[in-house]
Structure 1
Amino acid sequence: MTDVQLARQSWRRLEPVHAMVYFVPEATERYAALGLDVRAGYFASRSAAFGTASAELVVATFYNFHPALVRRSIPAAWQVTTPEKVLAARLEAAGAALRRGGLHEIETLAETAELAARAAERACEHPQGRPLFAAHAALPWPSEPILRLWHAQMLLREFRGDGHIAALLAEGVGPLDALVLHAATGKVPTAFLKFSRDWPEEEWAGAEESLRGRGLLDGDGLTEEGAALRQRIEDRTDELALPAYAALSGEELERLAGLARTFGRAVVDKGLLALSG
């Protein structure tokens, strides 16, 4: 495999370690204790690294959520709690959930965390043009190994995510366009994307019509041109994420990709990615 392929594999396999914090009850309970419901908890916890972020900043950096959905939570969240409390709650929730899943007992934890942290630290040398990542890069590193792994993967995810938005913009793919094209792949249920991002049916239908007019969609889903566009965006996203993984040698990157499988599977097998309601 090339370094680009290995880096993508490492990210995909390890990403459940980070992503589970948006689904586990440990997070929901802690945000509720701060006066935040599920959706406000999500927007506040992921944007808290900015400080008291405005709705406009969250709309811009999260990219594909309907602005009205964001504005129902932000800045109202900052009237009941503080970014510092939310960040502490998220880190506590991540640790509690990962320990519940037994990931802190996996014998390769220290090695995996060290490799991921080296990649994340290299990413921190390249904050330009990556606002959501840069805000998180300024947060202190936790000392507990399982939390260091979570923090490292969180940074790598946001580093990649900012690059992905840049790739979408360069290809003229707007927030709703990106969701509709993603839904057309069949990899994520359309109903889930509509519910979680809260785009009205008429706007969704309008985006589908526009994409059909551009030759990217047809009655069966993605056209050949649409599939090529998505692949081009994914390839460019992979390339933009590579500077982080340049901290690792080819052997180390291959090792991280192998180690990551164990942790990602453990998150899934323990049900940590199941919706908590």
Structure 2
Amino acid sequence: MTELEPALARTAWRTAEPIHGMIYFAPEAHQRYAALGMRERMGYFASRAAALGPVGAETVIATFFNFNPALVRAAIPAAWRIVAPDEMLRIRLEAADAALRRACEPDLLTSPDLAEAARLARRAAESASEYPEGRPLFAATSALPWPDEPHLVLWHAQTLLREFRGDGHVAALLLTGRSGIEALVLHAATGSVPAEVLRRTRGWSTAEWDSAVERLRSGGLLDAGDEPGLTEAGRTQRQWVEERTDLLALPAYAVLGTDGCARLVELAGRVSRAVFEAGLLNISRVT
């Protein structure tokens, strides 16, 4: 395996993540799910879990990790009575196509740079596919067929890279003994995402959130402030999780090497900026 700084692999993932992540916020997706008769968050759970087949709620709870189980059970398996997983995957890809076409100017969509970004991301994703062990959501997604058009190849590759990293992140969190809601509270305590956004989008009540805060305070990981921050022990644990996550993600990006990762950051960054500028990452669209 080529030597690669974990920080560069993280930068490559983070830079390209909006290309995939927009599918959870784009109206092109929400409108299609609503047209099927899916309510509230059902479209999210069904579209992301569809690669696993018509699984039950417990499988989704296990693989998604930090969502309130009650929120999952309200959506799964009821979603499969509305739409088959294969059809859901087709609709999600159709939504990604429509959203990226709206976000990207025609010159960018058909540019050699976007095609090169797609080739680099696909190479990383295919390298990741050699390491499916312990990564159920990634492994299921990696078995899906590749689309043909470069912008969809880039989207699908980033989907794979997101789930590859995500499964590794869950593994690292499990080693700390943290529950899903506790992991969210610690994330909020870093200040990178507002606590209310994480609590609301994952379906946790204020009482459940406050209870998790108190457990983490008792464990010495959060301070006593009104807006809980990480203690030294909390920062140490959080850093340990992020470092292990970076190391577990390396097999995907090592094949690109330092120059290839830097090039992916440069090229994918242009598409990500277009996604941002088109307003495809509007968190207010999530109930």
- TM-score in terms of structure 1 length: 0.97
Shift of 1:117: 0.3
Aligned to 1:218: 223
Query: Once the two structures are superposed, what CA deviation does each residue of 1:138-159 show, in whole Å capped at 9, x if it has no partner?
Result: 0000001100000000000000
Change (3 A) 1:103 1:216: farther
Of 132, 150, 174, the residue aligned with 2:137 is: 132
Aligned to 1:42: 44
CA distance in 2, matches of 1:270, 1:202: 36
Of 227, 236, 246, the residue aligned with 1:228 is: 236
Change (3 A) 1:117 1:104: farther
Aligned to 1:249: 257
Aligned to 1:63: 65
The one-letter amino acid paired with 1:148 is V
Change (3 A) 1:252 1:53: same
Instruction: Confirm whether residue 276 of structure 1 aligns to residue 276 of structure 2.
Output: no
Aligned to 1:24: 26
Shift of 1:201: 2.1
Instruction: Confirm whether residue 91 of structure 1 aligns to residue 100 of structure 2.
Output: no
SS at match of 1:248: helix
The one-letter amino acid paired with 1:250 is T
The one-letter amino acid paired with 1:30 is R
CA distance in 2, matches of 1:157, 1:58: 16
SS at match of 1:173: coil
CA distance in 2, matches of 1:166, 1:276: 30
Query: Once the two structures are superposed, what CA deviation does each residue of 1:160-190 show, in whole Å capped at 9, x if it has no partner?
Result: 0000000000111210110111111121111
Deviates more, 1:252-261 or 1:41-50: 252-261
Shift of 1:104: 5.8
Change (3 A) 1:59 1:269: same
The one-letter amino acid paired with 1:255 is R
Q: In 2, are the aligned partners of 1:177 and 1:211 still within 8 Å (CA)?
A: yes
- TM-score in terms of structure 2 length: 0.93
Of 120, 126, 130, the residue aligned with 1:121 is: 126
SS at match of 1:135: helix
Change (3 A) 1:201 1:276: closer
Aligned to 1:266: 274
Q: RMSD across aligned C-alpha pairs, in angstroms?
A: 1.4
Runs of 5+ unmatched residues, structure 1: none
Shift of 1:109: 0.3
Percent identity, please: 58
SS at match of 1:247: helix
Of 179, 191, 196, the residue aligned with 2:184 is: 179
Query: Once the two structures are superposed, what CA deviation does each residue of 1:6-62 show, in whole Å capped at 9, x if it has no partner?
Result: 111010000000000000110011111222124000000000001101000000000
Moved over 6 A (4+): none
Residues 185-196 of structure 1: matches in 2 within 5 Å?
185-196=190-201
Q: In 2, are the aligned partners of 1:103 and 1:263 still within 8 Å (CA)?
A: no
SS at match of 2:41: helix
CA distance in 2, matches of 1:205, 1:189: 15
Q: In 1, are the aligned partners of 2:4 and 2:257 still within 8 Å (CA)?
A: no
Deviates more, 1:216-225 or 1:155-164: 216-225
Change (3 A) 1:103 1:69: farther
Q: In 1, are the aligned partners of 2:104 and 2:271 still within 8 Å (CA)?
A: no
Q: In 1, are the aligned partners of 2:223 and 2:230 still within 8 Å (CA)?
A: yes
- How many residue pairs align between the two structures? 277
